[in-house]
Amino acid sequence: MEIEYYGANCVRLSTKKATITIDDNLAALGLKTVTKNGDIVLFTGTPSDLKTEPKIVISQPGEYEVSGMSIQGVAARAHMDEAGQQTATMFKIIGDDVRVAILGHVYPELNDNQLEALGTIDVLVVPVGGNGYTLDGIGALTLIKKIEPKIIIPTHYADNSVNYEVPQQPLEEALKGLAMEPGEPQPKLKLKGGEFSETTQLVILERQ
């Protein structure tokens, strides 16, 4: 599996069988859409109007099997929801024996049922920009400790090329809350099932 980052919350997961594009609302943020015809498309929040022809668009909780990929959507309280609301969808994706969780703009509290639904996670993709719109470094760390992934990929931090609805914290500021030291930024992350370090790693992906 390969993971690439395209800005905001948008990442693409690629295997030999399929490509999954997550949260491609880039056109609304001043960037170019990256979804291609035939992609599996996921949205953790409100779906964007795409000009391409994806294989399927998923934005609701449930269990899905598409092109050899196992996808589970888990209902969650969005960061800006009131108590009792659950307008966000977290996703657990399994492909090439790698288990990836996409949190999206969730409130920094998950209950036991939600954590059980996510289960064991190898890679956690989590926003860190904060400012009341999404998780900040401290909120992200709260969920990281509960989920216990092997690799953490932060997203949705300040970027001069992205016209965020709410200004986001710089990555350097968010990393203070995470209290973890990242390695050198990478253009993409290549993964194989079972080949993970015993210690949790923080991986910064360069925006494509």
pTM: predicted TM-score of the whole model, two decimal places: 0.97
Say if 7 falls within a structural domain: yes
Residue 204 CB partners (closer than 8 Å, separation 6+) = 153, 154, 171, 182, 183, 184, 185, 186
pLDDT, position 1: 97
Q: What is the mean pLDDT of each run of 10 residues along the chain (208 residues)?
A: 98 96 97 97 95 96 97 97 96 97 97 98 98 96 97 97 96 92 94 89 97
Residue 99 CB partners (closer than 8 Å, separation 6+) = 92, 93, 119, 120, 121, 122, 123
Say if 208 falls within a structural domain: no
The torsion angle over the Cα atoms of residues 157, 61, 203 and 142, rounded to 10 degrees, is 70
Say if 176 falls within a structural domain: yes
Say if 207 falls within a structural domain: no
Is residue 130 within 8 Å of 137, Cβ to Cβ?
yes
Say if 29 falls within a structural domain: yes
Residue carrying structure tokens 């960061």: 79
**Structural domain total, the chain:** 1
Calculate helix-pair angle for 171-178, 137-147, nearest 10 degrees: 40
Say if 131 falls within a structural domain: yes
CATH, residue 7: 3.60.15.10
Say if 138 falls within a structural domain: yes
Other Cβ atoms less than 10 A from the Cβ of 160: the count is 5
Say if 64 falls within a structural domain: yes
Q: How far is the first Cα of the chain from the last one, in angstroms, to the nearest whole number?
A: 17
Quote the domain boundaries for residue 195. Answer: 2-202
